[in-house]
Chains A and B, each alone.
Chain A
Amino acid sequence: MLLVRNGRVIDPATQTDAPRDVLLDGDKIVEVAQPGKIAPDQSTEIFDATGLIVAPGFIDLHAHLREPGQESSESIETGTRAAARGGFTAVCCMPNTKPVNDNASVTRFILDRAKATASVRVWPIGAASVGSKGEAIAEIAAMKQAGIVAVSDDGKPIATAKLTRQVMDYCRSLDLCVIEHSEDVSLAAGAVMREGVTSTRLGLPGMPAAAESVCVARDVQLAELTGARLHVAHLSAKASLEQVRWAKQRGLRVTCEVTPHHFTLIDEDVQYDSRYKMNPPLAAREDRKALLEGLADGTVDAIATDHAPHEPALKDVEFDRAPFGILGFETALALSLEQLVHTGRLTLMRMIELFTSGPARVLGIERKIAAGQPADLTIFSTTHEWTYDVKQSPSKSRNSPFDARTFKGGQVATIVAGRFAHKV
């Protein structure tokens, strides 16, 4: 038994914001009560959460753990250790591994490796098409049986409108969410950052915001056609957000996520440093402003990291030759506090929703602090100052633009299935 005592429990699912003690037994929450009401017995471990926030376990809808196939950049073990440090209790891993997670045996391999090595829950996302090549539908039902939580051809969009429509039809019947990496690949071809004054000044090929938003527009219409659940991954452009807003107003089952780097940085921050290179690329000033509004007004459903490790040898090259992607687990909460809460843009309740009940809704599950629920808790401080030192990261990669940034508030303890996955 583990008693988390005297913390301020904030749970968007139950709209709780009050001092509570939470008692965990094994992998379940057994009791939530007023402080002091639960009498611990001799064997109960006690965690004093005085002055700390106790939230439902954070879910990251979007990460790359690189296993199988690219273990020089990350593994399920190292990636989930980094996730635990960032407060995540569950991580959805994208299928663009080598081989691609497009069949049940790869799904089972990932889950077996997770069982053996992971610090947090690993929820695989299966490929929508075979090899994510956009030609034939993958064995989605078999993967669902093996344990996938959604499908995506992430890294790229589902190749054609026709196949997207078919995948949506199929996934509707299987009650699975289709996660789309929205990008018109012809508009984005050759681009290494967002098109704008900065890309023009730097002489770097840029992709327009429309490279994302035309694909979102297409998919939203297909979601209406099929009635499927569509989730727009790493949404970065104002025009895309407007499409999602329109879809929601129409009552479509369309959701979206935003990454901390997109609501923190903009294209003007790019200075030939490949740690600032990711896809979708850092967007314009007005896009960031729109994302912040969308995070506040409920248009955005989740904050997701798009944790995308690349070993230094791959990233330490000419900007245009470097692969897309940056680390995300360990700075997501701290950046959210910095950009969203400390600035007064969002309440703590809303920020926590974006990490917990928001992503849970996307996956069609529940996430709350209540008896009978999984014993996953994210416990953090909003005040203590710390400096991110990427060299200390359990990740195998170092590609973070937030190295050496000082934060106010961050992760203190991560409890997964009743056990500490991380504790300061």
Chain B
Amino acid sequence: MTFRFRDLLALEPLSADELTFLLDQSRSFQGIQRNPLKKLATLRGKTVALAFFENSTRTRISFGTAAARLGADTMNLQAESSSLKKGESLLDTVHTLDAMKPDCLVMRHASSGSADFVARHLDIPVINAGDGTHEHPSQGLLDALTIRDRKGSLANLNVTILGDISHSRVARSNIHLLAKFGCRFTLCGPAMWVPRELENIGPPGASIRRVFRIEEALEDADVVLVLRVQTERLHEPALSAADYILLYQLSAERLRLAKPDAIILHPGPMNRGVEITPEVADSPQSCVLEQVTNGIAVRMALLYLLLVGGSEESGQEAHPATEAPQPLSRRATDKKENSSAPADKDPSHASR
């Protein structure tokens, strides 16, 4: 199987098979993250443009690291230094970047659909690293990879999402991905943050329900995705932090209502003591740091697929250039690595 899309703009249009393919490809890059020498030469000579029109630390570093570990060079554009501040249009900015001949554009932007808009105007592959409140596909993939590692499969899980779902691109990407594997969603948060329309955004037949009591929402949950409640930027409408904590904070006590082996995901950065208690954040059920590690594997896979498409020719070109003393073929690497599942897969729940 090869990836049929030139870009990765959203998970919504991808089939279950295509998503599985992306996750399998990502898996083959997981092992490299644990090697003492992590650099491949697969993308040597390629340039990845990272255009972050909205502030981001972890996603930008993650993509940058993924590119570096594949041997690619990066060029960076950040909102603070960009000419957008001087009134240049997005289109002019990306055309300027494109004229420096990168092989791929990774972009984050505050406007929903901006990656889609840019991709219509550029010939190089575009990877959406988060567009407004629309999608964050690499986050959806790394969440799914993390869930699959822990649960063994994505099939038929009960997934509870807590927070401002209306404004969450992470929630949307998760819904579009996991619903295709039969996961059932319970969306929970203040009613203004969980509009009725969310029940119908998934693929046909998707099970998505809204619940306004966290106790009810956590019942039988296999996966709890806790969204960041932004205290510095107001949600629309804003809610007092005290109310949010009272009604929706994920505490150890509330977590007991979920299945005993339920896992906790959070896209980060966490507001400890707001949407999640430190105790839960640091519990063995929490996958927060695995998510971060998996993020690099997912992004390496995406860059690899979109830049060389997994074609034999490109793969061979990469080999002679390899300097690092790792296995030359990436495929050889994954064979060895993919069985080493995270150590904490054991659902013994010592903390309980």
Please give, as numbers and ranges, the residues of chain B lying within 8 Å of A195 by CB-CB distance. 195, 197
Which B residues from 120 to 155 make CB contacts under 8 A with A?
131-135
- Complexed CA–CA distance, A321 and B111 (Å): 8
Stretch at the interface among A36-44, A196-204, A219-227, A354-362: A196-204
Closest approach, in angstroms, between the C-beta of B341 and any C-beta of chain A? 34
- Complexed CA–CA distance, A320 and B132 (Å): 10
Asked if B111 and A318 make an inter-chain contact with CB atoms under 8 angstroms apart, the answer reads: yes
Please give, as numbers and ranges, the residues of chain A lying within 8 Å of B132 by CB-CB distance. 203-204, 320
From A199, A200, A272, A313, B116 is in contact (CB under 8 Å) with A272
In the complex where A197-B197, A200-B197, A272-B117 touch, is A318 in contact with B109 (Cβ < 8 A)?
A: yes
Asked if B117 and A318 make an inter-chain contact with CB atoms under 8 angstroms apart, the answer reads: yes
Residue B91 CB within 8 A of the other chain: yes
Residue B113 CB within 8 A of the other chain: yes
Asked if A318 and B197 make an inter-chain contact with CB atoms under 8 angstroms apart, the answer reads: no
B198 and chain A: residue at smallest CB distance: A200
Asked if A320 and B111 make an inter-chain contact with CB atoms under 8 angstroms apart, the answer reads: yes
Please give, as numbers and ranges, the residues of chain B lying within 8 Å of A190 by CB-CB distance. 236
- Complexed CA–CA distance, A201 and B179 (Å): 14
From B117, B131, B200, A203 is in contact (CB under 8 Å) with B131
Closest approach, in angstroms, between the C-beta of A271 and any C-beta of chain B? 8
From A196, A271, A318, B90 is in contact (CB under 8 Å) with A318
- Could you give, for residues 313-342 of chain A, a 1 whenever the CB lies within 8 Å of some chain B CB and a 0 otherwise? 100111111000000000000000000000
Closest approach, in angstroms, between the C-beta of B13 and any C-beta of chain A? 12
From B89, B91, B134, B166, A202 is in contact (CB under 8 Å) with B134
Interface-centre pick from B91, B111, B133, B236 (highest chain A CB count, 10 A): B111
Query: How many A-B contacts if CB must be within 8 Å?
Result: 64
Asked if A203 and B90 make an inter-chain contact with CB atoms under 8 angstroms apart, the answer reads: no
Closest approach, in angstroms, between the C-beta of B208 and any C-beta of chain A? 11
Asked if A319 and B89 make an inter-chain contact with CB atoms under 8 angstroms apart, the answer reads: no
Please give, as numbers and ranges, the residues of chain A lying within 8 Å of B91 by CB-CB distance. 316-317
- Complexed CA–CA distance, A313 and B90 (Å): 11
Closest approach, in angstroms, between the C-beta of A186 and any C-beta of chain B? 12
Asked if A197 and B201 make an inter-chain contact with CB atoms under 8 angstroms apart, the answer reads: yes
- Complexed CA–CA distance, A420 and B280 (Å): 78
Which A residues from 224 to 271 make CB contacts under 8 A with B?
271
- Complexed CA–CA distance, A202 and B166 (Å): 11
Please give, as numbers and ranges, the residues of chain B lying within 8 Å of A271 by CB-CB distance. 116
Asked if A318 and B166 make an inter-chain contact with CB atoms under 8 angstroms apart, the answer reads: no
Asked if B197 and A272 make an inter-chain contact with CB atoms under 8 angstroms apart, the answer reads: no
Asked if A201 and B111 make an inter-chain contact with CB atoms under 8 angstroms apart, the answer reads: no
Asked if B89 and A272 make an inter-chain contact with CB atoms under 8 angstroms apart, the answer reads: no
In the complex where A202-B134, A203-B112, A203-B133 touch, is A197 in contact with B200 (Cβ < 8 A)?
A: yes
- Complexed CA–CA distance, A251 and B113 (Å): 46
Residue B114 CB within 8 A of the other chain: yes
A interface, how many residues as a size bin? 10 to 19
Please give, as numbers and ranges, the residues of chain A lying within 8 Å of B27 by CB-CB distance. none
Closest approach, in angstroms, between the C-beta of A286 and any C-beta of chain B? 14
Please give, as numbers and ranges, the residues of chain A lying within 8 Å of B113 by CB-CB distance. 202-204, 272, 318-320
B201 and chain A: residue at smallest CB distance: A201
Please give, as numbers and ranges, the residues of chain B lying within 8 Å of A203 by CB-CB distance. 112-113, 131-135, 167, 169, 172
- Could you give, for residues 83-94 of chain B, a 1 whenever the CB lies within 8 Å of some chain A CB and a 0 otherwise? 000000111000
Closest approach, in angstroms, between the C-beta of A74 and any C-beta of chain B? 21
- Complexed CA–CA distance, A201 and B175 (Å): 11
Closest approach, in angstroms, between the C-beta of A103 and any C-beta of chain B? 32
Closest approach, in angstroms, between the C-beta of B155 and any C-beta of chain A? 24
Closest approach, in angstroms, between the C-beta of B246 and any C-beta of chain A? 27
Asked if B112 and A317 make an inter-chain contact with CB atoms under 8 angstroms apart, the answer reads: no
- Complexed CA–CA distance, A117 and B113 (Å): 40
Please give, as numbers and ranges, the residues of chain A lying within 8 Å of B167 by CB-CB distance. 203
- Could you give, for residues 178-201 of chain B, a 1 whenever the CB lies within 8 Å of some chain A CB and a 0 otherwise? 000000000000000001011011
A272 and chain B: residue at smallest CB distance: B113
Interface-centre pick from A195, A196, A319 (highest chain B CB count, 10 A): A319
Which B residues from 152 to 167 make CB contacts under 8 A with A?
166-167
Closest approach, in angstroms, between the C-beta of B196 and any C-beta of chain A? 9
A190 and chain B: residue at smallest CB distance: B236
- Complexed CA–CA distance, A89 and B72 (Å): 62
Interface-centre pick from B12, B90, B117 (highest chain A CB count, 10 A): B117
- Could you give, for residues 290-321 of chain A, a 1 whenever the CB lies within 8 Å of some chain B CB and a 0 otherwise? 00000000000000000000000100111111
Please give, as numbers and ranges, the residues of chain A lying within 8 Å of B236 by CB-CB distance. 190
- Complexed CA–CA distance, A199 and B111 (Å): 13
- Could you give, for residues 88-116 of chain A, a 1 whenever the CB lies within 8 Å of some chain B CB and a 0 otherwise? 00000000000000000000000000000
Asked if A196 and B109 make an inter-chain contact with CB atoms under 8 angstroms apart, the answer reads: no
In the complex where A197-B201, A203-B132 touch, is A319 in contact with B90 (Cβ < 8 A)?
A: no
Please give, as numbers and ranges, the residues of chain A lying within 8 Å of B166 by CB-CB distance. 200
Please give, as numbers and ranges, the residues of chain B lying within 8 Å of A316 by CB-CB distance. 89, 91
From B112, B200, B201, A204 is in contact (CB under 8 Å) with B112
Please give, as numbers and ranges, the residues of chain A lying within 8 Å of B169 by CB-CB distance. 203
Please give, as numbers and ranges, the residues of chain A lying within 8 Å of B197 by CB-CB distance. 195-197, 199-201
A320 and chain B: residue at smallest CB distance: B111
- Complexed CA–CA distance, A202 and B116 (Å): 11
- Complexed CA–CA distance, A200 and B114 (Å): 16
| 18 additional A-B residue pairs with CB within 8 Å, beyond A200-B195, A204-B134 | A197-B197, A200-B166, A200-B200, A201-B201, A203-B167, A203-B172, A271-B116, A272-B112, A272-B117, A316-B89, A317-B89, A317-B117, A318-B90, A318-B109, A318-B111, A318-B114, A318-B117, A320-B113
Q: Which 5 pairs show the lowest CB-CB distances between chains A and B?
A: A272-B113, A203-B134, A203-B133, A318-B111, A203-B112
B residues near A (Cβ < 8 Å) are 12, 89-91, 109, 111-114, 116-117, 131-135, 166-167, 169, 172, 195, 197-198, 200-201, 236
A-B CB contact pairs (8 Å), 25 listed: A195-B197, A201-B12, A201-B172, A201-B197, A202-B113, A203-B131, A203-B132, A203-B133, A203-B134, A203-B169, A204-B112, A204-B113, A204-B132, A271-B116, A272-B112, A313-B89, A316-B91, A317-B89, A318-B90, A318-B109, A318-B113, A319-B112, A319-B117, A320-B111, A320-B112
A residues near B (Cβ < 8 Å) are 190, 195-197, 199-204, 271-272, 313, 316-321
